[in-house]
Amino acid sequence: GPLFKVKDDPRVTRVGRFLRHTSLDELPQLFNVFAGDMSLVGPRPELPELVATYPAWRMQVLEATPGLTGLVQVAGRDELTDEEKARLDLFYAMNRSLEMDISILLRTFRAVIKYGGRV
């Protein structure tokens, strides 16, 4: 079935909760951005096992480079259904632009400040 984060996961330590809460757990992915494997903005990368279950219409999202943040993260993230997330990722992949990327980055920074990293 779909993969998800468990709220109040007992395996996560206090330090881990702090890192997640402040989004500092995303910093190692900057190495992937510098290496050219990821972008700052784009659909979040998915596990190959999950991509293998994608319907044909969703495969177009793979044309966009995965990113640290994206339209899903600034449009509701955990409040969205899997279908809504998929459609937002597809919308981004088909309509990406510098203006959209700048807007998403600004909205991400605002959300990190406002919600303490829960983007």
What distance in Å separates the CA atoms of residue 66 and residue 68, rounded to the nearest whole number? Answer: 7
Which tens digits make up the pLDDT trace of 59-74?
A: 889 889 999 899 998 9
Provide the pLDDT confidence category of residue 6 given band limits of 50, 70 and 90.
low
Judge if pTM exceeds 0.85.
no
21 vs 59: which has the higher pLDDT:
59
Question: In what helix (H) or strand (E) does residue 68 lie, and over which residues does it extend?
Answer: strand 67-69
Write out pLDDT tens, residues 41-95.
999 888 889 889 988 888 889 889 999 899 998 988 778 888 899 999 999 999 9
